[in-house]
Amino acid sequence: MSPSPSPSPGAVSSLTLAFGGDVHFTGRTLPLLNNPQTAFGPFAEQLRAADFAMVNLESAVTGRGEPQPKTYHFRAPVSAYAAIQAAGIDLVSIANNHTLDYGQTGLLDTLDSAKSANMPVVGAGRNVVEAYEPYVTSVKGVKLGVVALSQVHELAEQWKPTSTRPGIAMAFNMELSVAAVKKARSLADLVIVYLHWGTEGSYCPNGDQKSAAKALAEAGAQIVVGTHAHMPQGDGFLGSTYVHYGLGNFLWYGPSKSTDTGLLTVTVSGSGAWKATNRVFTPGVISSTGQAKPVTGSELASAQQRLARAASCSGLSRTPS
């Protein structure tokens, strides 16, 4: 493994990172775009307070294209980017099972509109090289490298990128996924992998999640987080790598497997060897507006019990080793 570069002179010794789950603007969440400044609700304060914040944009940003042969189709207008930026979100993953809901036309529109809006995206591209390319940025003098991948089987073969076809980065191709993480590791001080994975409606990670997390951690990822199960899953450590298997829905259009959600805040520290030194998952609920809101009182106690259940089947250690 190539060593990560040293932080720039004057770089801080710690950063706060915030991660939310699945986001889209359709159904009850579409009207939220009438006021982009408030679209994300109360958790936006924590997102804006973080040094770096990220969510999964589970939608094509397009008004064109043909619906693909699948059950659910999500798309959003370009004003979605304004809402995302107003919430203090620095990067969105588009490696998921909805970015191509309206075909290659929809994906290309999503990429083009993101560029026009100056909204960084990761996890898809016009070809296989672009799709697996890490996103690298400097935050307070610390270089972050982010890789985004999908591990959802639906239409995976048709949606994978090739040398001549746009698509999303698939974790099923572990050779390319590991290579992306290693490249990010050679360019950045801290490597984050954001995945779309897991069994819908399950608190527990499946075998694909566990094997991917292990391989990506061994390749050099210091943080691995994910979404797709529509409910929070457990977190912990694989060696020194922090893993959160499932963040849940975060801005959601209607009924789902669970209304449980939350915002993950991770503190990372280091100078040469960066790692997660503290994490807090603030439990929330998907409200009637589709926005995530923190819970208190008896609702908080119940949510914490369900989170403990998820942690018990994660197979992860509570502390790093």
pLDDT (average), residues 260-281: 94
Q: What is the CA radius of gyration of the chain?
A: 18
pLDDT (average), residues 200-214: 98
Largest CA distance in the chain: 54
User: Is beta strand 260-269 parallel, antiparallel or unpaired with respect to 14-23?
Assistant: antiparallel
Q: Is residue 319 part of a domain?
A: no
Q: How much is the pTM?
A: 0.96
Tell me phi and psi for residue 76, to 5 degrees.
-140, 155
Q: Is residue 249 part of a domain?
A: yes
Q: Is residue 3 part of a domain?
A: no
Q: Is residue 76 part of a domain?
A: yes
Q: Is residue 201 part of a domain?
A: yes
Domain count for the chain, please give it: 1
Quick check: 16 and 68 in contact, CB under 8 A?
A: no
Long-range Cβ pairs for the range 205-208 (8 Å, 24+): 205/233, 205/234, 205/245, 205/246, 205/313, 205/314, 205/315, 208/151, 208/171
Structural domain that includes position 83: 14-312
Q: Is residue 250 part of a domain?
A: yes
pLDDT tens for 123-137 read 999 999 999 999 999
pLDDT tens for 41-63 read 999 999 999 999 999 999 999 99
Quick check: 48 and 88 in contact, CB under 8 A?
A: yes
pLDDT at 164 over 50: yes
Q: Is residue 318 part of a domain?
A: no
Q: Is residue 150 part of a domain?
A: yes
Give me the CATH number covering residue 244. Answer: 3.60.21.10
